[in-house]
Amino acid sequence: MFYTDYRLQFPVRVETPDPTFARALQQAIGGVEGEIRVAMQYMFQAWGMRGPAKYRDMLLNTAAEELGHIEMLATAVALNLEGAPIALQEEGAQDAAVGAIMGGRNFRQFLSAGLAATPADADGVPFDMSHVYASGNIAGDMYANVTAEGTGRLLATRLYHMTNDPGMRDMLSYLIARDTMHQNQWKAVIEELEEEGPQMPVPNSFPQEAENQDFNYVYLGFTADGAEPPRGRWSEGPSVDGQGGEFSIRPMEPMGEVPVLRPARPGSYGQNVQLDDQEDGQ
């Protein structure tokens, strides 16, 4: 069950409405870096979580927080759009808010939502859940969550740079701070899990002796001339997963054959030259 307090998680105020910024804020709502993404990601991770209940409960608690962030941003969009008339009358086009919308900034905020936010990104593309990662593996999910919060914080800092409105900067400063906490939160889960043993490679429950031992710690180069690939921490020294592997480096050489497929079946309607009844080499 979920509950609402009716009040915003943090104050949202706009001193100078800006429809252009309202469109930019859509990315923080329905973009792949946005709040719908992390809210749904944490929800589905929680709903599928097996193991210690505290991890499920923590995910649900944070997912509920992210729902509140969506509400804040949707309110910010609406406040930035206020002042535009309900009808797109010719004289109304002189209004800065309407002019911005009619200029192609975001028609759907007016046409589909009546000067409000939509569950879409800054280009009006609806969020389709394709970037919600909930694998059922807690370590894999936590690494994905660190990345999600990192890209979300990056977006919020860019939005902060885009506006001089004091209210919007206050709101974004809060959201940026929460992204900082959540990055640390998910990394802390990984560190807590690592108290019982290495968490990499994910999944750590698969027996490593069953994987190809010639390739599990070698950095391969795929340059056309066979030159050695660039060196770094990833190419020499102990592996970072704590499993005792040693990084190495070498150019990759093809080990397989040229693939040869059988001719097409007559019922598959390839061209005649592709079909079974053609002689080899014809």
Q: What is the chain's mean pLDDT, rounded?
A: 89
Main-chain dihedrals φ then ψ at residue 255, nearest 5 degrees:
-110, -10
Tens-place pLDDT, residues 59-75: 999 999 999 999 999 99
- 40 contacts 120 by C-beta, under 8 angstroms: no
Task: For residue 137, give both structure tokens.
Answer: 């593996």
Q: CA 14 to CA 20: how far, in whole Å?
A: 13
Backbone φ/ψ region at 104: left (φ over 0), alpha (ψ -120 to 50), beta? left
Containing H/E element for 238? Answer: strand 237-238
Q: What is the pLDDT of residue 100?
A: 53
Peptide bond into 251 cis (omega under 30): no
Tens-place pLDDT, residues 23-49: 999 999 999 999 999 999 999 999 999
Q: CA 252 to CA 255: how far, in whole Å?
A: 9
Tens-place pLDDT, residues 198-241: 999 999 999 999 999 999 999 999 988 878 889 999 999 999 99
- 134 contacts 45 by C-beta, under 8 angstroms: yes
Q: What is the pLDDT of residue 277?
A: 62
pTM: 0.86
Q: How far is CA 40 from CA 120, 180, 187, 196, in A?
A: 14, 19, 19, 29
Percent of the chain exceeding pLDDT 90 equals: 71
- Model confidence at 52, pLDDT cuts 50, 70, 90, reads very high
Please state, as a whole number, how many other Cβ atoms lie within 10 Å of the Cβ of residue 121: 20
